[in-house]
C-alpha cells in the first residue's frame, strides 16, 4: 500500500441519512480521515445518521476512533435545530467511546447543544496536531462563524467547516458570530495554507464539492475587500 491516507467526503441525504428531509435540505458534508494501514479513522462533524456514517466507513474497512468538530451547530454535531432533533456525537458515544476534539473556545457551546460530558471532550489550541493512526491533522482555530470554529489541514486538504465555502463564508449573525473575526480567519489565520491546497467545505453550496484554495481566493467575493472595515461595510 503506497499511500496510507484515507480521506472520504460524505454528503448528507445522499451518502447517509437518505430518508431524512432535513439532512437532504441542509446538504452537510461529513468527512473521514484515517490511516489505511491501521484502519483507524477520525470523523469530522458526524450528524443526522450515526449508524449510516459508521457503516459507510466500515465498507472501506475503517473504524471510527475519534471525532473532530468544526463547531457547535446542531447540523454538525447533533442537537436541537429549528424544532428538529438531530443525531450526532451523543448518539455516537452510545455506540463507541471515542474522544471529541474541539477548540477550547467552543467547549461550553458543544456541551450545551449536544449534552455530552466534559470528560468526552479534548480541548485544543490552534496549531495542535491530532493523529489518525500515523496521519497528522493540524487544527487551525478560525473564529467568526462561532468563537471556537476550527479547520483541519491534512495532506494539503483543508476541511473548512462553515468558516469558508467555495462561494461565501459562514454566517456571523448567530450566537457567537463575529464578522470581523471571520474576515481575519479567512485572510490571516488561513493565509499559511497554500493556493494549491484543496478546499473541502462544510456544505454543498456550490455545484462542485471542492476546489483549489487559490481558485477560491480569486473568485470568492469575501476575498475582494482589502481590509476588515471594507468587509464589514459589505457583509455585516
**In whole angstroms, what separates CA 33 from the centre of its chain?**
12
Supply the range of the domain harboring residue 30: 5-235
Residue 27 has pLDDT above 60, yes or no: yes
DSSP H helices in the chain: 21-26, 50-58, 74-77, 89-95, 107-114, 179-184, 213-219, 228-235
- Note whether 24 and 9 are within 8 A (CB): no
Question: H or E stretch including 118?
Answer: none
Q: How many domains does the chain have?
A: 1
pLDDT tens string 152-211: 999 999 999 999 999 999 999 999 999 999 999 999 999 999 999 999 999 999 999 999
For residue 9, the tally of other CB atoms under 10 A from its CB is 17
Let me know if 191 is exposed, middle or buried by CB neighbors in 10 A (0-12, 13-18, 19+).
Answer: exposed
CATH number at residue 130: 3.60.15.10
Give the pTM: 0.97
Q: Rounded to whole angstroms, how far apart are CA atoms 79 and 99?
A: 18
Reported as type and span, the H/E element at residue 226 is none
The contacts of residue 119 (CB under 8 Å, 6+ apart) are none
Cα angle at 140 between 94 and 38, to 5 degrees? 50
Summary mean pLDDT of the chain:
97
Amino acid at each position: 500500500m503506497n499511500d496510507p491516507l484515507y480521506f472520504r467526503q460524505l454528503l448528507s441525504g445522499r451518502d447517509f441519512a437518505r430518508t431524512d428531509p432535513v439532512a437532504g435540505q441542509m446538504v452537510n458534508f461529513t468527512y473521514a480521515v484515517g490511516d489505511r494501514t491501521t484502519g483507524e479513522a477520525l470523523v469530522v462533524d458526524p450528524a443526522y445518521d450515526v449508524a449510516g456514517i459508521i457503516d459507510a466507513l466500515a465498507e472501506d474497512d475503517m473504524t471510527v476512533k475519534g471525532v473532530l468538530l468544526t463547531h457547535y451547530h446542531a447540523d454538525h454535531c447533533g442537537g436541537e435545530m429549528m424544532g428538529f432533533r438531530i443525531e450526532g456525537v451523543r448518539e455516537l458515544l452510545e455506540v463507541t467511546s471515542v474522544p471529541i476534539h474541539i477548540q477550547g473556545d467552543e467547549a461550553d457551546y458543544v456541551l450545551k447543544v449536544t449534552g455530552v460530558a466534559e470528560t468526552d471532550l479534548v480541548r485544543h489550541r490552534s496549531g495542535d496536531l491530532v493523529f489518525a493512526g500515523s496521519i497528522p491533522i493540524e487544527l487551525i482555530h478560525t473564529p467568526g462563524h462561532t468563537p471556537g470554529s476550527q479547520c483541519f489541514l491534512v495532506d494539503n486538504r483543508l476541511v473548512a467547516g462553515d468558516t469558508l465555502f467555495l462561494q461565501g463564508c459562514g454566517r456571523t449573525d448567530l450566537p457567537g458570530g463575529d464578522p470581523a473575526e471571520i474576515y481575519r480567519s479567512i485572510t490571516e489565520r488561513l493565509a499559511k495554507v497554500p493556493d494549491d491546497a484543496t478546499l473541502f467545505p462544510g456544505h454543498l453550496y456550490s455545484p462542485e464539492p471542492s476546489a483549489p484554495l487559490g481558485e477560491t481566493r480569486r473568485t470568492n467575493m469575501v476575498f475582494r475587500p482589502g481590509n476588515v472595515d471594507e468587509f464589514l461595510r459589505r457583509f455585516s
